[in-house]
Amino acid sequence: MAANKTLLILPGDGIGPEVMTQVRRIVDWFDRRRAVGFDILEQPVGGAAWDAHGTPLTDEALADAMDADAVLLGAVGGPQYDAVPRDKRPEAGLLRLRKEMDLFANLRPALVFDALVDASTLKREVVEGLDILILRELTAGVYFGEPRGIEVMADGSRRAIDTQSYTEHEIRRIAEVAFDLARKRGNKVHSVEKANVMETGVFWREIVTALHRDRFADVELHHMYADNCAMQLVRQPKQFDVIVTDNLFGDILSDCAAMLTGSLGMLPSASLGPEDGTGRRRALYEPVHGSAPDIAGQDKANPLATILSFAMMLRYSFGLGEDAELVERAVQNALAAGVRTGDIAGPGTTAVSTTRMGDAILEELDRLAV
């Protein structure tokens, strides 16, 4: 039996604790049935931490996150925290966590499960079998560049300024992750920018091209303008394997790609930090959806986005690709058998509870692992 991995669980608010309960059942299953065990720590975050400790992220939770092999988060936020000062809001806790962990690489897969092809707004033949990964730079670019602000000009009128800025190091490290990931998938990278109109785009292309030539020449590399990429994502998304892009374009393109798959309740994500000397990366795994206050506490939420985030953790933090596939196949099979929560229940299927969806995944895992 391999040494246990330390996993910090941050259930958070709203449906966060409900979906996390189902992941805990799967973690227990792995403890019992596979050669991988987890030492679990749990901390409140977001509104739950504010209620208990008067801060959305305690120093203890942050210290645990920095030390853990991986962090799994549910969701934070809710209308009851609207009046809380901005720097104490649930979202502030999450932002601090991402910043302290230096999570510069955001991975958002867009995977279309066979049983859910019809949930996409696009035609079946366009999305059937789709499996792409959008890699977004998360800690630099125009959301952070200086100078920024709104200023009064000499004539008394005002103007607003944002600055798009990327260092060589920031581009190289996200491109490295892209090429590494591509080697474990379809071996193809589309690097996306606006080199036709932006200096950062020209620079981005130059750095990616040099890195590719020097270290990743075996990976197929394409350069694409961001506007064309948006168009291609809805026209012919299966041409892509890994798309790597900056913070702003990644924000937009990852939402666009996400919707190819149809439902928020199905979308996992991962955010990775830099490698330390031992090859370990800090990592946070979380569903793309929020705390869904409208259905919280009703055992209605779809736990699959969080369960699939756990699968990403197995693959990217622990190199357990086979175990990740096991979870993904269990999800695939449960969906194929017609098990659906309300958000993905189509005509002819009956919506089941969060707990029942968890049961179905465990039953499939038992079946697959015989």
Interface with ligand NAD (CB under 6 A): 15, 75-78, 91, 94, 264-265, 286, 289-295, 301-302, 305, 341, 343
Nearer to ligand NAD, 241 or 286 (CB): 286
Query: Which among 28, 39, 227, 294 is annotated as catalytic?
Result: 227
Dist CA 306 CA 75 (whole Å): 10
**Coil, strand, or helix at residue 269?**
strand
Nearer to ligand NAD, 5 or 89 (CB): 89
Q: Give the Å distances, CA to CA, from 106 to 178, 254, 280, 283.
A: 11, 10, 16, 10
Dist CA 84 CA 227 (whole Å): 38
Closest approach of ligand NAD to the CB of residue 293, in Å:
6
Query: Which among 102, 180, 251, 359 is annotated as catalytic?
Result: 251
Dist CA 327 CA 130 (whole Å): 18
Question: 240-255 in b/e burial notation, b at 16+ Cβ within 10 A?
Answer: bbbbbbbbbbbbebbe
Closest approach of ligand NAD to the CB of residue 14, in Å:
6
Instruction: Look up 64 and say whether it is catalytic.
Output: no
Dist CA 192 CA 144 (whole Å): 19
Closest approach of ligand NAD to the CB of residue 292, in Å:
4
Nearer to ligand NAD, 75 or 195 (CB): 75
Instruction: Look up 251 and say whether it is catalytic.
Output: yes
Nearer to ligand NAD, 29 or 81 (CB): 81
Dist CA 184 CA 186 (whole Å): 7
Dist CA 275 CA 278 (whole Å): 7
Query: Which among 194, 241, 323, 343 is annotated as catalytic?
Result: 194
Instruction: Look up 143 and say whether it is catalytic.
Output: yes
Q: Could you give the residue numbers annotated as active site?
A: 143, 194, 227, 251, 255
